[in-house]
A = this chain, B = another copy of it.
Amino acid sequence: VDVKDKGLGEFGLIERFRRGVPSNDRVALGIGDDCASIRFTPGAEVLVTTDMLMEGRHFRPDDPLIEVGGKCLGVNLSDIAAMAGRPIAAVVAVALPKARAVEAGLALQEGIVAMAGRFGVALVGGDTNAWDGPLVVSITVFGEATDRGAVRRSGARPSDAVLVSGPLGGSLIGRHLRPEPRVREALALHQRLEIHAMIDLSDGLAGDLRQILQESGNLGAVLDADAVPIHPDAVAMSLVDHRSPLDHALSDGEDFELCFTVDPDDADRLLASPPAGVMVYLIGRIDEGPGLRLRHADGRVEPCDVRGFDHLSGGGA
C-alpha cells in the first residue's frame, strides 16, 4: 500500500490515528496541537521513560506489527512498573517504510491502542514520518509514583531477600513480542510492603540484578540455582542449543518480570500470602561481598559470569 496511491498523506494518516485513540481524565489537550497537555497529581513524582524498537534489531521484518506496537508500549509500561508507578499517558514517534506506510502505521497503532486500553494509558501525541529505511517506533511514557514514592534500583540492603515475579528465560521464541508489564503487580506489592529496590528484567536476570547491586553501593548477591524459576521456553531453547535452562533464565532477557529486594521478614510474609494474582519467587539474598554468585544444589558457591544483553555490541533480537 503506497501512501500516494491511497491518497492519504501525513494529515490523512494522523487523522485516522486520532480516531479511537484512548484518553483519560488526565488529558487536558490530546493529539493535534503543538504539544499535548497533561494534569498530574499535584506534588506527585512524575515518571518518564522512553524505548525505541528497530526492525531487524528488536523485531524481524515478518513479526506482526500489531505485536511490535504493543511491545513498544509494553516495555515502557514495564519500566513504569519497575518504579511501582501508575502509567498515565504516552507519545509515539514512528519512521514508517514508505512502500507500506499506511498499512504499517495502522497495524502498529492497533497494537499500541490495545495495550494502552488495557492499562488505562492515554495516547496524547506523536510524530509520523515515512522514509526508505526500515521501521522504527519510539514511545515515551509518563506516569506517577504513588504517595509511597518511586522505587529506585539503588535501595537494596545487605541481607535483603531477592525475589522475581515470574519464570524466566527463552522469551526469544516469541514471548518477547507479547510482554505483560507488571504494573498492577508492582502496585499491589508496593502497597503491601516496602520494596527496597526494583528493576524490570529486560537485559537478563544476571545483568539486571547487577544494576541493582552496583547502584546500591556495590553490594553482592547469592542466588540459589535451584530457586530461579525457569520458563518452559527456556527448557525448549535448551533442547536446541544445549545451553542449560538456568543459563537462559539468567541471561536471555526480555522477560519483563520484576526483580526486587525486600526485608527478609517481609519476604516470608509475602511468600506465605502473596497479593491476589501476583506470583513471587524467592531466589536469593543480598550481601556485602561484591558481585553476583550462584549457590548450586551441592552447596558450591561460584561467581556468576553470564553477561546481560548489550544493545550496542550484542546480537539482535
Contacts and interface: CB of A to CB of B under 8 A. Distances in A.
A63 to B, nearest CB: 15
Interface string A127-142: 1111111101010101
A129 B198 CA distance: 23
A10 interface: yes
Given A93-B138, A133-B134, A11 B45 contact: no
A133 B54 contact: yes
A204 to B, nearest CB: 13
A43 interface: yes
A33 B152 contact: yes
A236 interface: no
B200 A50 contact: no
B35 A83 contact: yes
Contacts of A133: 54-57, 133-134, 136
A9 B311 CA distance: 8
Interface string A91-128: 11111101001000000000000000000000011111
A48 B142 contact: yes
A279 interface: no
**Size bin of chain A's contact surface:** 35 or more
Nearest to A92: B50
Contacts of A58: 129
A49 B32 contact: no
A225 interface: no
A283 interface: no
B42 A101 contact: no
B13 A50 contact: no
* Among A38, A40, A52, residue most surrounded by chain B Cβ atoms (within 10 Å): A52
B4 A79 contact: no
A172 interface: no
A290 interface: no
Given A33-B83, A47-B35, A131-B316, A10 B125 contact: no
Nearest to A57: B131
A138 B45 CA distance: 24
A34 B153 contact: yes
B47 A79 contact: no
Contact of A131 (B40, B56, B93, B138): B56
Contacts of A273: none
Interface string A1-38: 00110001111010000000000000011001111111
A124 B313 CA distance: 24
A32 B83 contact: no
Contacts of A235: none
Interface of A: 3-4, 8-11, 13, 28-29, 32-40, 42-43, 45-52, 54-58, 79-80, 82-83, 85, 89, 91-96, 98, 101, 124-134, 136, 138, 140, 142-143, 145, 150, 152-154, 198-200, 215, 310-313, 316
Q: Across the A-B interface, give the 9 residue pairs with the lowest CB-CB distance, nearest first.
A: A42-B42, A34-B82, A138-B138, A52-B93, A140-B140, A35-B47, A10-B312, A34-B79, A35-B49
